[in-house]
Structure 1
Amino acid sequence: MNKKEFLQELKEHLIGLKEEDVKEILEDYEEHFRIGKRKKRKESEIAKSLGNPKEIAREVRRELHKYKEVSLNSSLIEFWVNTKKLGRNIWKNIKKEVAHAKKKVKEIFEKIEKKEKKKKKIKRKRSGWKITLLILLNLFLILWLWIGLLGGIIGLIVSSWAIIFSGIVSILGVIFGFIVPHSRAVNDLFLSALFGLIGLTSFGFIFSIGTWQLGKAFFWLTNKYLKWNNKIFGGRK
């Protein structure tokens, strides 16, 4: 863990504290890194010696709790931070998988194009039965497969927006629930539900981005397939 990662994680775990307190704590730990660098120490070594940012934040909250300056407990904050981390990891994995799939498909088409260029003779006219076979394949298999995949992608997009909408509506419901006076236990339950719904809504946004990327990849493949058909019908190998 380097300096930037350490301070970012510490800042996330200090959510809910006064801004001036957070700023002062972060400045103190930045000073530790400056001192360590002057001693020719690596950032990872300094971060390791300072401890776990989550534990540091817990200790800060325990100290401030004595003076009743903390409204949110550490478990709720850690749940929120872990939800954000999960969202970031899911989004990174989605981008990685989509990029990997596009790269593989691109390599396949590049290989096909290279093989086509290596052929010395180019026939201007294709045999009638081959063109007929391709037409039948497109009409009775490819077209229906394409429609099915398109419907599936649309369904995923609709589902992601349904998650987002239901999450937002539920969050508003919990917020309105705070307006009515309740016991401390009920308020804590509402607060836990609020963080859970925020995590669900965040997942919905990430899911919608992933399905959007999937849709882009789908239409990119469709365009490639149409170009390939155009080459076949144009009489080129």
Structure 2
Amino acid sequence: MNKEHFLIELKIYLKPLTNQQQGFILNKYETIFKERLADGETEEQIAKSLGKPRGIAEEILQEFDITVPEKKLERDGWQEIQPIINNDDHYEDTPEHPYDDAFRSYERPQRNGFTRFCHVVGVLAFNFLFMFWMIFAFIMVLFSCWLVAIVLLFSPILGGISIFSGFNDGAMFQLFVSIFLSGAGIIGLLILTPLTKFFGKILKRYLQWNIHVLRGEI
């Protein structure tokens, strides 16, 4: 066993002591190694003459009324001991959950009755005088556009009926016009579909905002 191995193993067994006490003892034995190396001895000879690190640690720990506990070998061959803790002074801190702030319950803002009444009346008046009519108008426009697009989509049926009823130049022209209008209807449907979905999302968020305000959550 060389000096490095000796001091490392000794430090492991002295783990129940404080860092300051460990440092003092390790410096003492490192000085012994330096002095005896200067006299011509090898590290192995010095370590053998000093004895096993565990025995040295046991004698030192006995001076502090500490018993070296039994320990298990780790996979890498090193032995680990844990400091003995006085049960009288031992306590456990309850660990804080890392998402306490994230999961903290929502508290509604406290408002007096008059402020609450003003909020409710203000929202209802704004909706009745402005937003209700604006939303109604937009819904009617969307409904009209959808109706027109659907009629244009099925306009070739009218062209086909005109041909079967009486084939002439006017019937052919009407068929080509109906096919063109059907294409316009398809384009209109492609535009109206995402537009209607977007309007639905906006309307849903606005209704949710109204509910939050009426409940006093905002």
TM-score (norm. length: structure 2)? 0.41
The structure where helix makes up a greater share of residues is 1
Structure with bigger gyration radius: 2
| Greater RCO, CA 8 A, separation 6+ | 1
